[in-house]
């Protein structure tokens, strides 16, 4: 029986992947490289399932912490267990190491990929079945050099992408207003979202957000620090544009607080924040139950994590605002998958083949490896 197969080996890689541009966000910048952790689980029949932890030290945590969580604290809970024990393994992992949500997302991804490959089922089928074949893609506009972003806008237009998220709050309010005006004038066919990544000071937040709201973006995301929850609720009340929470809501526990406080109109759901795909589905259902909208966010990810998010959204009808899985196509110098993460006419294509649908290319993984452990 498929589900009785034991997991015999766990491999963990810490990779640094070169990127082609700089990204400025309200909480910090990324340039030169992004750090990710890849985990591979081998079953006794020889099949391997893979998952990715995409950490950002200023947001979720560090890649070093993800690596240690998997290698030291989670490994003993996994090796020797059977594939059919996914829920029990995830429950044990939740309590074996605090936080480290990216490591837990990587673990659940690898367990699902492994089970899907052995059972010849896509991961979305293991998450309840699919509700969509494609997901609208949003690309972030976040380069400190505006000319570089305009070149990216031209490429996106040519590629058929029609949603962008303008990253704001890193270079002053006047700069944000100038860029919004420019985008509305020169790129009228694009849907625009705005994301501050906590970048506004609490003294100025309401005034700045109200002025940005005059451009009528689809939503304005996380203008202030994650812990300023009552201010989030006040900002929400002060504008007609929907307010989205990102850094304020990691998992279902935060979602419960957000609902009780009336913190926002919607939530950016990321498997790296929730600690897995099934917990991401839980957040989406909690949001839906109170009339909050849900968006498929991501971290600075490679294609492997994009695939996990894609399968999760494909199986989660409550996530209606598209996704931002743009890094594999528009930010990484080279992705790590065997074949490209598929985006066509501005839509992410949901894979139909077993597991995640595409495996990492182990030569590329080796090329970018900083450290590796198989537990021996």
Enumerate binding residues for Mg ion (CB under 5 A). 195, 221, 246
Write the CA distances from 72 to 54, 56, 82, integer angstroms. 18, 20, 19
CB-wise, 246 or 335, nearer to Mg ion?
Answer: 246
CB-wise, 7 or 258, nearer to Mg ion?
Answer: 258
Taking the complex as a whole, the smallest distance from the CB of residue 195 to Mg ion amounts, in Å, to 4
Taking the complex as a whole, the smallest distance from the CB of residue 27 to Mg ion amounts, in Å, to 9
Other C-beta atoms lying within 10 Å of the C-beta of residue 275: 25
Taking the complex as a whole, the smallest distance from the CB of residue 59 to Mg ion amounts, in Å, to 9
In sequence order, the 6+-apart residues with CB closer than 8 A to the CB of 201 are none
Cβ atoms of 328 and 300 closer than 8 Å = no
CB-wise, 85 or 221, nearer to Mg ion?
Answer: 221
Other C-beta atoms lying within 10 Å of the C-beta of residue 28: 15
CB-wise, 263 or 365, nearer to Mg ion?
Answer: 263
Taking the complex as a whole, the smallest distance from the CB of residue 197 to Mg ion amounts, in Å, to 5
Of the candidates 94, 98, 236, 217, the one whose C-alpha atom is nearest the C-alpha of residue 167 is 217
Residue nearest to Mg ion (CB): 246
CB-wise, 34 or 111, nearer to Mg ion?
Answer: 34
CB-wise, 168 or 329, nearer to Mg ion?
Answer: 168
Cβ atoms of 149 and 308 closer than 8 Å = no
Sole residue written with tokens 């973006």: 217
* Pairwise CA distance, residues 65 & 297, whole Å: 22
Taking the complex as a whole, the smallest distance from the CB of residue 213 to Mg ion amounts, in Å, to 17
Taking the complex as a whole, the smallest distance from the CB of residue 356 to Mg ion amounts, in Å, to 24
Write the CA distances from 113 to 3, 27, 119, 290, 366, integer angstroms. 13, 33, 10, 32, 20
């Amino acid at each position: 029986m498929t589900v009785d197969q034991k997991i015999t080996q766990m491999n963990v890689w810490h990779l640094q992947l070169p990127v082609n541009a700089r990204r400025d966000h309200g909480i910090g910048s990324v340039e030169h490289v992004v750090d990710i952790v890849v985990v591979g689980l081998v079953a006794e029949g020889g099949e391997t399932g893979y998952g990715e932890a995409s950490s950002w030290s200023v947001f979720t945590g560090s890649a070093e912490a993800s690596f240690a969580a998997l290698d030291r604290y989670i490994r003993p809970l996994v090796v020797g267990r059977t594939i059919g024990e996914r829920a029990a393994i995830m429950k044990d992992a939740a309590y074996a190491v605090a936080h480290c949500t990216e490591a837990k997302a990587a673990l659940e991804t690898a367990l699902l990929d492994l089970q899907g490959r052995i059972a010849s089922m896509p991961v979305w089928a293991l998450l309840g079945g699919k509700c969509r074949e494609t997901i609208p893609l949003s690309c972030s506009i976040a380069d400190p050099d505006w000319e570089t972003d305009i070149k990216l806008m031209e490429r996106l237009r040519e590629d058929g992408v029609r949603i962008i998220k303008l990253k704001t709050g890193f270079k002053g309010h006047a700069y944000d207003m100038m860029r919004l005006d420019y985008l509305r004038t020169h790129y009228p066919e694009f849907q625009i979202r705005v994301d501050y990544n906590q970048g506004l000071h609490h003294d100025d937040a309401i005034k700045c957000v109200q002025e940005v709201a005059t451009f009528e973006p689809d939503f304005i995301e996380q203008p202030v620090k994650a812990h300023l929850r009552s201010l989030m609720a006040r900002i929400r009340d002060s504008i007609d544009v929907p307010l989205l929470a990102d850094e304020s809501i990691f998992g279902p526990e935060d979602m419960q607080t957000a609902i009780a406080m009336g913190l926002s109109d919607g939530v950016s759901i990321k498997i790296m924040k929730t600690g897995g795909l099934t917990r991401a589905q839980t957040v989406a259902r909690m949001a839906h139950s109170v009339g909050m909208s849900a968006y498929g966010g991501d971290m600075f990810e490679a294609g492997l994590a994009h695939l996990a998010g894609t399968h999760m959204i494909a199986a989660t009808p409550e996530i209606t605002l598209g996704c931002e899985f743009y890094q594999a196509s528009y930010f990484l110098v080279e992705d790590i998958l065997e074949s490209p993460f598929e985006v066509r006419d501005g839509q992410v294509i949901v894979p139909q083949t077993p597991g995640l649908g595409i495996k990492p290319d182990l030569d590329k993984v080796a090329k970018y490896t900083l450290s590796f452990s198989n537990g021996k």
